[in-house]
């Protein structure tokens, strides 16, 4: 399956997916069609280029949402992705973007989407002294972290004394769960 991976920042989930393609659970199942960013200077975009992935950027700053999303969707369609994989893509998607890829857009959220939506999910878990939290992979619809859940995995937070430690444990689970969920989805759909 061809993946369009979308990011706005660091790109650690993108890196985990590329690793899984190169020698892990996504080997022989997936390829990177493009790594796309709405932030031309996102560190994750440079990291993807350094790995030899095709990359594309379209700055979203100052653009009207519907217009930007229409252009971004048209650009991505040129790469003929089977799945659009959000990996720290910090935008809410409008219908103009979702429609051409309906049912084929995935997101990873660092909480149980029934309990916490939007930003700062690790801060939320840390501030509330949760003994565990969940990572969620879900299909994207027009809401904020509201789409059908594909997979969840628990992160043990007992003894995690800093926000950095909460994030470290959570990201380790994110990196495994995203690749494994995609692998399963691709198997089912092909």
38 appears as a binding residue in the annotation: no
| Near ligand GRF by CB under 6 A: residue from 32, 68, 101, 110 | 110
Residue with structure tokens 């759909």? 189
- At residue 82, φ and ψ (nearest 5 deg) are -85, -35
CA distance 18 to 4: 11
x-or-dash string of contact with ligand GRF, 10-29, rule CB under 6 A: xxxx----------------
Q: What is the DSSP letter of 12?
A: H
x-or-dash string of contact with ligand GRF, 35-64, rule CB under 6 A: ---------x--------------------
Enumerate residues 111-150 that contact ligand GRF by CB under 6 A. Answer: none
CA dist list (Å): 31 to 53, 54, 107, 175: 9, 11, 18, 17
114 is catalytic: no
x-or-dash string of contact with ligand GRF, 62-91, rule CB under 6 A: -------------------------xx---
Q: In the numeric block, which tokens belong to residue 41?
A: 């200077």
Q: Does 7 bind ligand GRF (CB under 6 A)?
A: yes
CA distance 129 to 161: 9
Minimal CB distance to ligand GRF: which residue? 88
Cite the active site residues.
109
């Amino acid at each position: 399956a061809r993946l369009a991976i979308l990011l706005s920042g660091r790109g650690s989930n993108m890196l985990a997916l590329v690793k899984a393609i190169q020698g892990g659970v996504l080997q022989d199942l997936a390829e990177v069609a493009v790594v796309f960013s709405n932030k031309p200077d996102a560190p994750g975009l440079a990291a993807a280029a350094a790995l030899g992935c095709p990359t594309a950027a379209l700055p979203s700053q100052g653009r009207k949402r519907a217009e930007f999303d229409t252009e971004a969707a048209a650009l991505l369609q040129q790469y003929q992705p089977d799945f659009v994989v959000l990996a720290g893509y910090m935008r809410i998607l409008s219908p103009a973007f979702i429609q051409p890829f309906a049912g084929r857009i995935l997101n990873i959220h660092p909480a149980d989407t029934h309990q916490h939506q939007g930003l700062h999910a690790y801060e939320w878990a840390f501030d509330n002294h949760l003994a565990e939290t969940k990572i969620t992979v879900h299909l994207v619809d027009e809401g904020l972290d509201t789409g059908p859940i594909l997979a969840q995995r628990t992160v043990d937070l007992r003894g995690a004394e800093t926000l950095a430690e909460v994030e470290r444990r959570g990201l380790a689970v994110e990196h495994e769960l995203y690749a494994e969920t995609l692998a399963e989805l691709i198997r089912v759909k092909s």
